[in-house]
Amino acid sequence: MIANTLTVILILAGLVFFAAGTAGLLRFPDVYSRLHALTKADNVGLGLVILGLMLQAGGPADILKLFLIWVLVLAAGTTAAHMVAQRTWTHGEFESDR
């Protein structure tokens, strides 16, 4: 019961961060600022969702699997953000092509 309540709270909190990250993606003025919003907000959002799901996990293997997912998404997210930023630096903003 307590675990279920905590799960709901943590996942809802995580979704707030996902929504905020998307809001930043839409509202921020340039590529770099949008990357800030995506990487940082999604990292915390996914972290909270994963914490909530860990409370429902069937055993240590499931908990570790969820943790592994978070770590891999984190590594992929920050690497992708850096690559997009670097490409924007060398080639200019995509929107200025129009």
Partner 1 sequence: MTRVAKHRDATSRAGLNRARARWRRAAWTVLAAAVLWWILAGLDALLEPLALLAVLLAGAASLVLPSGRPLGVRIRAIPGLIGYFLRASFLGGIDIARRALDPKLPIAPDFIEYRADLPHGPPLTLFMAVLSLLPGTLSVRLEGRLLTVHVLDRHGQPEVALRELERRIHAAFEDPRRRKEGGT
Residues that bind partner 1 (CB under 8 A): 16-17, 20-21, 23-24, 27-30, 32-33, 35-37, 39-41, 43-45, 47, 61, 64-65, 68, 74-75, 78-79, 81-82, 85-86, 88-90
For partner 1, the closer of residues 4 and 69 by Cβ is 69
For partner 1, the closer of residues 4 and 83 by Cβ is 83
For partner 1, the closer of residues 8 and 72 by Cβ is 72
Supply the minimum distance, in Å, between the C-beta of residue 37 and partner 1.
5
CA distances from 82 to 20, 36, 67, 89 (A): 21, 10, 23, 10
- Here the contacts of 33-38 (C-beta below 8 Å, separation 24 or greater) are 35/81, 35/84, 35/85, 38/77, 38/81
| Measured CA angle at 23 (ends 22, 26), to 5 deg | 85
Supply the minimum distance, in Å, between the C-beta of residue 53 and partner 1.
15
CB 18 within 8 A of CB 38: no
DSSP 55: T
For partner 1, the closer of residues 2 and 61 by Cβ is 61
